[in-house]
Amino acid sequence: MTEAAALPAPEPVRIGIVSISDRASRGAYEDRGLPALRDWLTRALLNPLDFQARLIADEQEQISTTLTELADAGCSLILTTGGTGPAPRDVTPEATLAVADKVMPGFGEQMRRIGQHFVPTAILSRQVAVVRGKSLIINLPGQPKAIAETLEGLRADDGGTLVPGIFAAVPYCIDLIGGPYLETVDAVCKAFRPRNAIRHTR
């Protein structure tokens, strides 16, 4: 048997993607949040992906209910986009904190650090990340272009990493909460794990 044949294939992963937008949910404009999330995750991950997609309005109860349902449905990762600013209808962080078992402040800190390289108003974002059971839930900004920026970080002209994207820490976080082993495409986003946590798959 060859070494490759002896290695296990990457595990399937269920991922919740949630676009939170008053205007896109009522059809005032086309939703670009879900396609941006799906496209980036498909480029970045080698695992077979089962997406659970939702497009909803900026309603706190509805957001919390959606996040709870996706976590209960076995999503290891849930990414939201939209509703993190200071406007009265921006309530995604409150809805996310309401379903948290643990708050993970490092994600929000790093997202705002990345954002300020693109736009000074990134400090207006109130994104949070939390763990609920075996799900990691992360709020991303609403601007569709900000989704890849935040997940991937900032590259230098030579292709090296200038500011690490938040996704580099996601696979190990999911390991620690008992989820499947996520494998990334290094050219898009190289996951970091301590040496003793690295497994080899095909």
Ligand X SMILES: Nc1nc2c(c(=O)[nH]1)N[C@H]1C(S)=C(S)[C@@H](COP(=O)(O)O)O[C@H]1N2
| Cβ nearer to ligand X, comparing 11 with 94 | 94
Q: Which residue type is seen at 13?
A: V
Q: How far is the CB of 178 from ligand ATP (least distance, A)?
A: 31
Chain residues in the site for ligand ATP (CB under 6 A): 19, 21-24, 29, 31-33, 58, 82-83, 85, 87, 89-90, 142-144
Q: Read out DSSP for 33-82?
A: HHHHHHHHHHHHB-S-EEEEEEEE-S-HHHHHHHHHHHHHTT-SEEEEES
Smallest separation, CB 199 to ligand ATP (Å): 36
124, interface contact from ligand X, ligand ATP, none, CB < 5-8 Å by kind: ligand X
Q: Which does 121 bind (CB under 5 to 8 A by kind): ligand ATP, ligand X, none?
A: ligand X
CA-to-CA distance for 18 and 31, rounded, in angstroms?
Answer: 11
Dist CA 165 CA 143 (whole Å): 16
For ligand X, the closer of residues 49 and 154 by Cβ is: 154
In the numeric block, the tokens 């690490």 are attached to: 164
Residues that bind ligand X in the complex, under the rule CB under 6 A: 82-85, 90, 114-115, 118-119, 121-122, 124-125, 141-143, 146, 149-150
Taking the C-alpha atoms of residue 125 and residue 135, their distance in angstroms, rounded to an integer, is 22
User: Based on CB atoms, which residue is closest to ligand X, 57 or 119?
Assistant: 119
Taking CB within 5 to 8 Å according to partner kind, which of ligand X, ligand ATP, none is near residue 33?
ligand ATP
Residue 103 β-bridge partners: 130
